[in-house]
Amino acid sequence: MILNWGKDNAKYTKKTNKVYTLYISNIDENVDDDELFDYFKEKYDSVKSAFVVYNQVTDESRGFGFLNVLNYIDFLDILRNNKPFYLRNRKLVIK
C-alpha cells in the first residue's frame, strides 16, 4: 500500500485568488487598521488586509474588525486559536 500524504494538501497550498475572512473582536479601542494588520502579518505572511470597524457618528472603534488571509492553512491556524492572540494586553476573540 502506498500513501501519498502530500496529494490531499496540495489543493490548500496552491496559489488562488480566494480570500478567507476572519471576524476579530475584543480589540482595544486605540488599535487601528495598520496595527491590527502588522500584528498578524508578523505571524502569517498570507495576511492580505485588516480593518477595524468604527462608529460613523462618534468615529470611535466598535471593538471588532476583520482580517483577510490568502492561505487556507493560515486561516485555519488563526481560527483554531491553538495559541491565544494578545494585542495591547487584550485577548482577541476570533471567529
**pTM of the prediction?**
0.79
Q: Indicate the residue type of 21.
A: T
- Which cell goes with 73? 492553512
Report helix, strand and coil shares of the chain as percent, to nearest 5.
30, 30, 40
Structural domains in the chain, sorted by start: 18-94 (3.30.70.330)
Q: What confidence tens digit (pLDDT) does each residue in 11-47 have?
A: 555 556 799 999 999 999 999 999 999 999 999 999 9
Distance CA 32, CA 51 (A): 7
Helix runs in 47-91, H state only = 72-80
Q: Please determine, for residue 10, whether its predicted confidence score (pLDDT) is greater than 70.
A: no
Q: Indicate the residue type of 29.
A: E
